[in-house]
Amino acid sequence: MPYPKPPILALDSSNPRRCGQIHGETLRNQVRAMAQIRLELMCTDAAFPSEKQVLEIASAHLPILKDFDEDLYLEVLGIAEGSGLSPEEIVVLNHYTDLRDLRPNHFHRDGDDAKGCSVIYSKAASGPLLGQTWDIDSSAIDHVVILKIRNRETDILLFSIAGCLGMTGMNNHAVGICINNLNSTDAKIGIVWPALVRKVLKQSSAKQGCDLILQASLGSGHHYCVADKQDFFGIETSGTKKKITQRGSNKTHFHTNHCLDAEMQLTHTVKSTSTTYSRYQELEKRLPHTPISSSNDMYELFGHVSLAPKPELGHSVATCGALVMDLKAQTALACMGPPSQEIFHNPPLHLSLAK
């Protein structure tokens, strides 16, 4: 099937509330659809007893967000106002994977658990490349959006969905961040994780971004990859623990959706239906024999660990998009749906942070 190119939304965050309002107004229908999908999944997939309880728990995250970064808190309020939703619904839209982990019995429920991402960092001759797929319920595929956010200090390019602060991206200081979900068994109420992504992209170095993650009061598990032209850090986190498990900018790093560190494995679980080990093994097999000399090489490689949508299965998991960033050149490749021209006949959208 042909995949459309993701839309680009340019925003100015100098006035964060107005920035959010424009986001919510411009993508109103998509934001409302995405919020409703995720609110319903919190009951069907994560086993919350009612939408009311979900929204009550989401509300507890708002003061933490305000203390963490008031501008991003105001942006969330603005998205809510622009889309005609409550701030709590926008928290659910943003923080869905971490909120699920507050109901640990969802780990034992039957069903598809291929949700995740595959992340690669590679040092090409031209400079560092960082990218990821985004695998989640296929109902999200039509709501993928590229955000270009500017203010007086920093320009940011982000892969996101309508209503979300941003999931992966880079800034004009050549700092990039990718994420992949980890199912933490010690989840708690904490920082809305896309706000952490955005705040990392306010930093001027990967080291500053890494330090921010290590100091943050997180809600649940993620693996965060932070890189710039000199450094790379891979950080495995849970609700209560954090550990740098990968480091060094002169070698290739990759990660899927299980902890590589034995200590961190004690705070996480992997469902039997997960594809994380098979995707990891596929990358482990291919990377030594598949030189990554360009963004396009990485984009094509991701096709081998991507999941095709199955529209007939409703909320089945699929690769809903991907982003590959050339941090030095400040360019990126992005797509809706699974990447790869060869495998999925899905050419990328070419992006530049400078334009």
If one looks up domain 119-352 in CATH, what number appears?
A: 3.60.60.10
Q: What integer pLDDT is reported at residue 312 of this predicted model?
A: 59
Query: How far apart are the two ends of the chain, measured CA to CA in Å?
Result: 30
Q: What integer pLDDT is reported at residue 233 of this predicted model?
A: 98
Q: What integer pLDDT is reported at residue 310 of this predicted model?
A: 77
Q: What integer pLDDT is reported at residue 108 of this predicted model?
A: 47
Instruction: Chunk the chain into consecutive blocks of 10 residues (it has 355) and report each block's average pLDDT, rounded to whole numbers.
Output: 90 97 98 96 85 96 98 98 98 95 64 73 95 92 96 93 98 97 95 98 98 97 97 98 97 96 95 91 95 96 92 75 98 97 97 89
Q: What integer pLDDT is reported at residue 54 of this predicted model?
A: 95
The pTM for the full model equals 0.95
Single-letter code of the amino acid located at 58: A
Handedness of CA 276, 300, 304, 349 (dihedral sign): positive
* Cα–Cα dist 82/285, whole Å: 47
- Supply the Cα-derived Rg of the chain in whole angstroms: 18
Could you tell me which residues are beta bridge partners of residue 324?
A: 131, 333
Q: What integer pLDDT is reported at residue 114 of this predicted model?
A: 52
